[in-house]
Each structure stands twice: as structure tokens, then as C-alpha cells.
Structure 1
């Protein structure tokens, strides 16, 4: 590791940009282009030769699914604005039309690079005896075996459709994949145009039996369909074909005054399936008239069509990430159970009672949070449970525990967010499940999403009622908790218990919470507290005291917050940030942001935790700093139109864990990092050095969290110090 002291190093030289207006829209990067930049970093992770081969395939797949969602939501919204004649520019000065033009150029380049990456990975996989073959590579035995697979597993779910005046072009749903055909009747040469929509329940890659020993082979689904077209269209031969995939507008518009919110969302989900076409991907060299027919029938514009020479549906490559070759995957990692929980033989309440715990997922198991709710459901001394649910897994153990608690007569309140994009249907189902069990289900505000991650358990202990609270930076989702890095604060601090109760009462009763003690809530006080805290650092800088701030989040785009950071930088406040995705701030500009540094960490795990630290007159790192964790990213929607929490960390051990461990390692990381410059370009801080560069993910897998250590833990030296002494190893 070349620079383990990233967080204390002097910022690089600032740059002077010609014709730059520090007070104009140029001071912001465009949100959408910044997101595309993030997805380029995901794609570059697929090109990283130090990553295991199949993990590179996984990164490529993720870049594909990310891009699909970007088009169906963000690009769809911009197209809607353009169609409505909206010309008002965004904060960065670009109109919807200008943004769409830039997005289209960048996204097309990204998709072509994805195909190049796939060609490289495909060759590497073949060298490693994992082959993706075409129909010309099949033996007679292969074809015989595949015919059985086709008839048993694919044929029953296919519906071949002739296209003529009596059979109009069918509706192709969002993300729908289909094969278009030009056929000719063998008996008389009569032409027929046909369509073969492929249900998404069918695997995209068919694993072949036989072949060379030690070799695994896959045939893409479109190859299987082409191989057996005569079974679907007997008496016809193929004159031409192509494949295509449709992306549609998936952004929901819900009537704000809907009297029955649940019913409104059920109808909105049906409307989503018929959203307008946003992107049409079609295979290269499609027959001209067939291509024209598809474009016309789908009402797609020319700028919405892209021809691809390669695989359509990059996201489907995830099916090739198989377990047969563990040497081509990340080494298996089993999340730790905190030592203190083990000391108390799994009694979560006893462990929390001794001292606050901060769990760092996925390094510490999310099962501890699940068991917290399960233990509450089974504990006869527990009288009440309150829980927010924004996203969770199918057959969620947390929902099951809440139902069990309600059926057992405990007071259970579940705050379910119906507007969690793409999880609306699942949340409607779980809310009804909870209601049937006897839980009180609250849907929150019509105008604002409730994105806060909280649960409280009220337990009778002697003559007292003790509130145990959980505050998280991520969702109550046991599946994503295996690869999202998030923080879980578990505490029985009385002030935080009162604060959490006030927020629950706010969402259920609409009465704005007053007298919050250690909590700030958006859309009321969270943003203003962040800005006020930066202003405090400015005053420290002016007084000649150390002044610094650290931030870690997924996105930074809120103009008022960015401007507050610029003011702080101009006053001499040192600001270091780890922003995984969208970033609207321009670091390193003379006279504006020379004291601001921004990096993005993209690696084995998806960085998701949100942290804010302020030096409080002592600089950073410091035991006197003010430290917060949050459910909110620094975006307009989170700070102005959602219910979010910002929790101040008062416990000394948890405080040290965030400062000296979580933030220190993220700031020191090189292996998974890109550094942002004033022009919007990202570069690696050092060459990818055969896996030798310091990785914060590897570091966290090796080192237990400070606050979760049990009686056996005796070395309390801050891990920041260990990091420096070891050179990051």
C-alpha cells in the first residue's frame, strides 16, 4: 500500500478552469451523467484482471441491469419532461433535451464497451473450460439431448404468433425478450411474419450435458429456439430472423389525492406494464423490413433503437456465475456473530443492555438484527414492537416474527412504505399478511416516502419499561444484507428510544416531532443540521482551529448541501468524501473546492452505509468529533421529500468504530477506489498491483468491529493506528 494515510494527506494541487463561473450552474456535475459514470466504474470492475473470472462476469451483468433500470426510470422521466415541452434546466444548467442527447451518446458507448468486455470474458471462460457455444458448435448427440430439453422445458410455455391483419402485433412487456421471424412455407413459398415472445421464466442459458471431460457448456436460449423453429412452425423454413428486447417507462404516477392508496398502487402496477418504449435493443444485421416492422409496431423513435453485435440482455449473464468453480469466485465469507452476543449465549437484549453495538454488515451477520425481532416476538416480557419496512425479502423472517408477535397478543405496529420502487406489489402483500395477523399497519405519508430504518422493542423489566432500538443505514432485507455494506446501531439508550418513538408517532399521526434529543429527521431538520454543522466547521477554521468533515454515502446531488460544502472549502475546512455513485460536487477547483476530495469505492461489496463526521474544532480523526449515521443520501428526494433519520453517535466505542475503523479504512482504500477530479473524470489512486493494493473490504473481513467485541477482546488500540502500522495489510 503506497498511501495508507489518505485521510491526513494534503489534497492534490487544485486546478483553474478557464471560463469557469463558480456561482453558476457549472459548479455542479449533471446527476444523470454522473450516474452513468458510476456504471462505467462497475463495468471497469468487470475488466479488472485481479478479480476472479466469474465475479467479473457478475460485475458485467450488474452493469447491464443497472443500465436497464436507469433507462426505465430516469431516462423515462426525462423523456416525459421533453414531451411535455419542459425546457427548464436542472441545477447544472442542462435542459431535459440536452441531457437526453448526452445520455444517449454515453450510454451507446457504454453498451458497446459491455459487448467488448463480454467478448473478452467469453474467451477467458473458454480457456477456463466454461464455454458459451452456438448452434454450429453442437454435435448430433447434443441436438438430440436438446430436443428433449426443448420439448419438456421450453415448448410448453411458448406462444408463437403470426403477424397479419387477423393477428396484430402483440404487446411486449417491459424487459420483454422476443424473436422476430420471416418464414416461408415449404409447399408453395408463401411468406409469413411471426413473433416468438419468450417468457422471462425461461432460463436464458441452457446448460449442456456431455462434451469434453471437465468442460461446462452453455447454449443461449435464442440458439435453442432457432434450432427447433420447425417444432413451432411446422411446414415452414426460416428466411430471416432477429432478436430484440424492449425497455419501457417504469416510473409510476400515482394520484396524490387517491382515497385508497393500496388500490391506487395495484392499478398503477398494471399501468406500468404498458409504459411507453424507452429503449429498443435489436440484434445487428436484422433483415431490413423485419427491423422496420418491429420499430413501427412498437412505436419506437430512431433515437430509442440500438443495434448490438453480441448478446442482447447483458443482465442475463448472471446465470453463468455458477458454483462449480469456486476458484473463479470470491473466497467464501461467513459473516461474524458479534463476540458480545456469543458471550450472552445469543441473548440480544442482554448484549445491548451491557453496551451499545454497531454491526457492520455484511461483515457482521444481519441475522443478529433478525434475531432481535424474533427474540422480541417470543419474549413474554415484550409488550410492543414498532418496525419500518421499506424493502425486505420474500418470505421475510422479520415479517414472520412480527406476525407471530401480533398473534401472541403483543402490540405490533408496522410502517410499510408502499411506494418503494419495484417492491410495491411485495409490500402490498406483506401489509395484508401483517393485518391478518393483527398488526397495526401504517402506510405513512401520501406525498413523502418513509425511508427511515428503525425498529423499537418495549420490554418490561421489573417496574420499568425499557426501549431497545435499532437504527440502520440499509433495508431490513436479509438477502441484500449479504453484499450491501451497512451499519446497524443497537441500543437501549433512553433518549434514542424516545426519539424513535416520536418519529413513529409522527408517521402514524402526522404530528411533527418536537424536542428530538439525538435525532434529526427529514424533511424538517436533517438537511439544515448538515448545513449548520458545516457552518460550525467554518467558524472553527476562521478561528484558526482544525476544521474538517467526512462524508460517506451513495449519492451527493443536493445543491444547498453542495454549496455549503463549497463555502466550507473556501473557508479552509478539509472535506473528504466517499461517494459511491452520483456526485454533483466538483472537487479541486482553485477558489472553490481546493479542500474537497472525493473518491468512489466499488468492489466485492456494494457500499451503502451513510455516515457524516464533523471535527468539532479538533479536526479528523478525533474522539471529540460529532459523528452520525443516516438512512439518507445527500439528495433532494431524501432531504426534502422523504422521512429519513440522522442519528448522532454518543457511545465512545461506537464513535471510535466509525471514526477509526469504518471511515479510516474506506478513506485508505486503493484496491476498490476511483478518485474524482475537477473535470468529472475518475482515476485509480494507484495501479492495480496484482491484488497488493489495500482493500477496505478485505480489511473488514479480517478485523472484528470494535463495539461487538466480547470479554475475550483485550486490544483496544484504534484500528486506524493498526492500519497505519501495518501499511494497510
Structure 2
């Protein structure tokens, strides 16, 4: 698909900061993230997707941009205000980064506005209308208008609280993500001007759907503007405009925080009142209203932008829920691993027979829940240990742990309070777990526990045996339906001992000794990775084939990037599949000419972390060193998080991950983007041999976990790198 005219790219050739040594070797982290979000937005223009799915991509781009400002931009602004002399890896000050970020973010907002205009028109053509305050009267019948007015009077009006703005009524507090309408009015009785503000209540749904088969939506703020005379009787409405506020929402941990639970409970409340970092104004807002908002909310520290006719693009997700299957992806039902079915649903028996890998979302997350539920109900299970980073609002995992504790088992849950924007939910889960008798541990103050590990100790034949689950994603039943991740089940006693040491490290600060297979950060994960890259460099220098394949979300760490540059210069062939941020510059002569980087953006969110090293042969090969991990290649993952790196030694699992998952990602040409040495991304053209990796895994059972009968049938097409363009 060619790039639409209204989707502009940041032109790195015109970057005024490109002359520094850092910018010669690295892309800016924040601009790379914005480039990723632009790729997400471009999927909203991809006519290969159904219309409501395109709207979903637009809403995701909006939610992503909100979080980016609340966390990353807020952090840079804080550095600037405190005169922190810290340069990014590409050599920019916080002020220089902010200038470039705001320019690209404003361009992104302009693109979002244009995409929404196009999608809104196309939705209307298919019978889904989103009405504005200006189009309500002409689009609705008198009967519809009467219903709408009744709803406003009975359901919305009692909740609204108009607030006058004058010397006796100072400007009210606007919470984070707060949306409001400001009005200029004139009192009819004496022609006295007055200014009023109406905040949209946060718990209220953003859209009201009119009754009937035909889908007609009206945003709440449009209703407030349309029925302003009902809110302000005796006043003439001169003008009204919407605005929205984003605040600094990052939570910094203080070393003196002795009670982490109390600290986070208070910090979550403070988040609502963080410094205003972004003020969004409705396009065309009267200058007088805009000036007041800038003075009251923006000051000199906030970034002010005009965001088109709809503020808070992320809220458009509500319209995606419209019951129109013809405008959505064909429903997909994930498979349950056949190998576990062959053992009558007995997870322990199946895992005991052979290691199993499950590929989400193509294979259901229910297998993870079944593993935990069986452990909770099994009288031979004596202990369960579990990390919880993002469990979400679905209680399935929590209920299994509670059931196990109530059954008298020893249950330990490592609950990570520092999981951004999930802190409040995790506090609730921690409280529920503790009430049930679960031993809840919050881990390290300075480090996040990001590793996804579950460990079950079972009594078998007079001895104890340990079963483990290692995941590249979170124990989150909802995200497991749209994130591509790996779940690895094993009863290997070496991995059981390593997992036990990992939990002891988190719960009791007991340093692991003689770990057999697992590497942990911040302990030894980066050094182990460096040694693996060094081994490929040595192979290349000895004239042997040398290759590295890696798939993850982000590559940022300068030390790892420099090592990859060294490997490239030695002749190692490197293929990276990086969905999001990539600070490494590929294809630069004399520095990275043997490195290729691609990004896959499609129906599912590529999330699994997989690393492969040729080990003296071209990839893929049976002797390759293959690893799965919870970590991306970022400083925070190596230095400030508990992460694991796990070698895959089982031949069947090795083959599925390397020869299927990795090869499919490499040969995909329908939803892939190639990163150029100038920082631009170019959509891969399918050519004569189109291949969509998501479609492939939805329609073909995986090799591992299929069961003996399916494996013998040979029904799964074999993937080959010859498919690659």
C-alpha cells in the first residue's frame, strides 16, 4: 500500500541534530517510538483490514500517544525543568528531544484527524453514523431529537455541574484525561457576559447510541453543546469549545518508601494531580477561550495542540464494539493443545512426558489457566509460586491461587506494584490474595519483577517434582487473545531448581548460585547475551557461517547495539524483528551493513521475545542456540528489572520456535515494514508470493502440542526462507 498523502513521515535528512556523533550511530528512542505509532496509524488506512478494525487501529494510536505524553514526554519535561544535563544516546538534550517530539506528535495528531474524517465518512456509508453537535438536527427526526433530549434531561443533566469562572469562582481542578466544554454566554436579562465550564464526568460512557437497528452515536460533549440552553436557561450561548488535559502520570519510587503498598496507594492518587503536560484544544476554538485555557492550565510548561474535531481518539474504541461482524476480522477460536487432550486433560502427565510450547493467541491461554486450576485442586500439589506483573481485571489466575491457598497449599505470589497503569488493580489483587492466605511478596523496591514464571511442586512416588511455566507475556487472559506470546511448560529438574532460586532471589534477596540453564537480569543476562554474540563473531572470523535472529519489542541498549555493530563488521548476518522502538541503525556501510530490521504490525500484537544464534551453521539449523525471554534489549530490562533468559533444548520445541515462528516472521510480506538506514520505514510489498504470518498460524496447527496423530499427518505446510523476498 502506498503512503496516503496526509500521512507524513519525520524526515531524518532534515534533522537539525543529525551531525552529532550519537546521531550517526543511533536513532532517537522517542522519535523511534513515534515512528512505531505512525505505523499503527497507517494500519487505519490499510484497506485490506475491515472498516471497524481500521477504526480500532486509529483508537490504539490515540491511546498510545496519550501514554507517551503522560510518561515519556513528562519525564523529559521534568529533566528540562530541573536542568538535568543528560544527553540521549543519539546526543540530544531534553530540550532538543522535546522540540523534535512535539513537531512529530503534532503531525501525528493532524494525521489522526484526517484519518478520522475519512473513516467517519466511510462508516456513515455503511450505516454507522457519528453525529456532532452541528449535525444532530439535520440528521435526526423530530422523534429522535425528542428521545435524545429526554435522555439528556433524565440521564446526563443530573450529573453535570456547570461552574462559573470569575474572581469568586477560580478555575477548577481538571483531572488527568479530563474532558470539558467551556462556554461564553450572555445573560439575557442584562446583557452581562459570563464564562462557564462543564466537565464531562469520567465514569460516563463517551458515546450515547440512539435506539434502532441503524447505528447512530453522539459523543457526550456534543450533547452538552447541543443542549446548552437547557443547562444555562436565561443565557444566550455565544460560543463553546472542548478541551482535554493530560498530566504527568509516572510514579517514581523513593528509596525511603518503607511501606510499598501505602506508598503506591498514595502515589496513584497523586497521579491524578500531576503537572499538566499536554493541553488539547478543539480546532477553531475562539481566541478568548483558548487564551484562558492556556493561562489556567498550560502556562509555559505544557504543550498545547489543536486536536481536530474529536478529542481523545482512544475513546473511539467504543464504536468498534458495534455488532457488525461484516466490518470486523473473521472470528477466530484458538486451539487447545492436542497433546494435553491425549492425556485426558492432565497437564502434569502431558508435561511429564515431554516439554510443551504453546503459541498464543493461536493456542488458547486456557491451557495456562488449566495448569494452575489443576495445581490448585490436586491433593498431591504442595506448593505454588507465581509472578504477577499484569494480571488485568480478569480474576481467573487470582481465583486459582486463592483456591490453592484455601485448599491448604503453600502459595506465594510475587505481585509487581510498579506495573505502570496497573498499580491500582495489582493492589486490589494483592489484598484479595492475602485475605485468602497467600503469601504476597512485592519484590525489590528499585527493580520491577518482569519475569513471567509459574512454579508448581508436586508429590510423586514419595518425592517432590517441580513443574514450571515460563511465558514471554503476562498472566492476562484478555491480552493473551491479541498478543503473540510463547508459553513453555517443562518438568526439567534443572529448570525447576533454577526457578526456585529465582523466586528465593525475589522474596528473600538470596543470590542464586550455580544456575544450570536460566540467566537473570540484572545479574547476568546481558553478559550472557554478549558472550553469545561474541561466539558468532568468532565463528565469522574463523570463516564459519555466523548468524543471529532476534525477535522482540524494542532494541535500545547502546552496549548491545555496539556489540551487534561489531558482529556486523565481522561478517555475522543479523536479522532483527523489532515491533516497536529500534535505536540501532541498520544497513550503514562500515557499521551495520549486515544488519536488517523489520517490524510486523497486523491483526495481533507481536510480543514474544525469541533469540537464535547459528552456532557455526546458517540459520535455521537443529544445533542453533535458541532462547526465549521476558526481556527486550533495553537498559531497563538489563539493569532495573528481574528478567529471565531460557535456552530451548527440547528438539520438538526448538523446531517449532525456530523453523516456524521465527521463519514465519522473517518471510511475512503482507504486514511487514523494513527499517531503512535513514530511519524511515518502508512497507514490504507482497509481490508474487504473498505470506501473512498471522493468517498462517490461524489456519495451521502448530507442530508442538499437536499430539502424535496430527504430527504424523504432515498436514502443516513447511516454511522455507525461499519464500522470503
TM range (shorter): over 0.9
Q: Deviations over 1:310-329 (max 9, x none)?
A: 21111111111134221110
Cα deviation for residue 679 of structure 1 reads 0.5
In 2, Cα distance between equivalents of 1:64 and 1:422: 16
Check the 8 A contact 1:665/1:720 in 2, yes or no.
no
Helix, strand or coil: the match of 1:415? strand
Check the 8 A contact 2:248/2:277 in 1, yes or no.
yes
Cα deviation for residue 235 of structure 1 reads 1.8
In 1, Cα distance between equivalents of 2:225 and 2:19: 58
Among 49, 57, 78, the residue aligned to 1:51: 49
Change (3 A) 1:126 1:395: closer
Cα deviation for residue 187 of structure 1 reads 2.0
Check the 8 A contact 2:468/2:490 in 1, yes or no.
yes
1:280-319 map, 5 Å: 280-301=279-300, 304-319=303-318
Change (3 A) 1:303 1:438: closer
Helix, strand or coil: the match of 1:107? helix
Helix, strand or coil: the match of 1:707? coil
Check the 8 A contact 2:555/2:583 in 1, yes or no.
yes
Check the 8 A contact 2:360/2:485 in 1, yes or no.
yes
Cα deviation for residue 589 of structure 1 reads 0.8
Cα deviation for residue 684 of structure 1 reads 1.2
Check the 8 A contact 1:391/1:420 in 2, yes or no.
yes
Cα deviation for residue 517 of structure 1 reads 0.8
Aligned twin of 1:464 = 463
Aligned twin of 1:10 = none
Aligned twin of 1:120 = 118
Aligned twin of 1:442 = 441
Aligned twin of 1:525 = 524
Moved more, 296-305 or 240-249: 296-305
TM-score (norm 1): 0.94
1:212-251 map, 5 Å: 215-251=214-250
Change (3 A) 1:77 1:23: closer
In 2, Cα distance between equivalents of 1:42 and 1:454: 30
Aligned twin of 2:423 = 424
In 1, Cα distance between equivalents of 2:713 and 2:76: 52
1:707 counterpart = 2:704: yes
1:202-601 map, 5 Å: 202-210=204-212, 215-301=214-300, 304-601=303-600
1:614 counterpart = 2:624: no
Cα deviation for residue 240 of structure 1 reads 1.2
Cα deviation for residue 720 of structure 1 reads 7.7
Cα deviation for residue 693 of structure 1 reads 2.9
Cα deviation for residue 217 of structure 1 reads 1.5
Check the 8 A contact 1:26/1:93 in 2, yes or no.
no
Change (3 A) 1:719 1:555: farther
TM-score (norm 2): 0.95
Cα deviation for residue 24 of structure 1 reads 4.6
Helix, strand or coil: the match of 2:47? coil
Cα deviation for residue 30 of structure 1 reads 0.5
Answer 1 or 2: higher relative contact order, Cα 8 Å, separation at least 6.
1
In 2, Cα distance between equivalents of 1:607 and 1:433: 32
Q: Deviations over 1:39-58 (max 9, x none)?
A: 00000111101111100000
Aligned twin of 2:136 = 135
Check the 8 A contact 2:671/2:684 in 1, yes or no.
no
In 1, Cα distance between equivalents of 2:20 and 2:95: 24
In 1, Cα distance between equivalents of 2:86 and 2:446: 23
In 2, Cα distance between equivalents of 1:374 and 1:294: 53
1:109 counterpart = 2:111: no
Cα deviation for residue 141 of structure 1 reads 1.4
In 2, Cα distance between equivalents of 1:688 and 1:436: 59
Moved more, 229-238 or 335-344: 229-238
Cα deviation for residue 305 of structure 1 reads 0.8
Check the 8 A contact 1:21/1:27 in 2, yes or no.
no
Among 147, 150, 161, the residue aligned to 1:148: 150
Q: Deviations over 1:341-387 (max 9, x none)?
A: 11122211111112111111000100100111111000100000000
In 1, Cα distance between equivalents of 2:21 and 2:535: 22
Cα deviation for residue 411 of structure 1 reads 0.3
Cα deviation for residue 287 of structure 1 reads 1.9
In 1, Cα distance between equivalents of 2:294 and 2:28: 31
Aligned twin of 2:160 = 158
Check the 8 A contact 1:162/1:192 in 2, yes or no.
yes
Among 44, 62, 65, the residue aligned to 1:64: 62
Cα deviation for residue 533 of structure 1 reads 0.3
Cα deviation for residue 169 of structure 1 reads 1.0
Check the 8 A contact 2:394/2:478 in 1, yes or no.
no
Check the 8 A contact 1:660/1:720 in 2, yes or no.
no
Aligned twin of 1:9 = none
Aligned twin of 1:630 = 629
Moved more, 306-315 or 573-582: 306-315
Q: Deviations over 1:163-199 (max 9, x none)?
A: 1222211111111100001112222222221111101
Change (3 A) 1:724 1:586: closer
Change (3 A) 1:148 1:688: farther
Q: Deviations over 1:593-645 (max 9, x none)?
A: 11100000010000100011001111210100000000001000001111000
In 2, Cα distance between equivalents of 1:523 and 1:300: 41
CA RMSD of aligned residues (A): 2.0
Q: Deviations over 1:391-440 (max 9, x none)?
A: 11214211111111111110000001111111111111111111111111
In 2, Cα distance between equivalents of 1:519 and 1:710: 28
In 2, Cα distance between equivalents of 1:244 and 1:623: 58
Cα deviation for residue 716 of structure 1 reads 7.8
Aligned twin of 1:95 = 93
Change (3 A) 1:20 1:272: closer
Helix, strand or coil: the match of 2:710? coil
In 1, Cα distance between equivalents of 2:430 and 2:318: 32
Cα deviation for residue 94 of structure 1 reads 0.7
Change (3 A) 1:395 1:331: closer
Cα deviation for residue 527 of structure 1 reads 0.8
Q: Deviations over 1:95-127 (max 9, x none)?
A: 100000000100000000010111111111111
Helix, strand or coil: the match of 1:286? coil
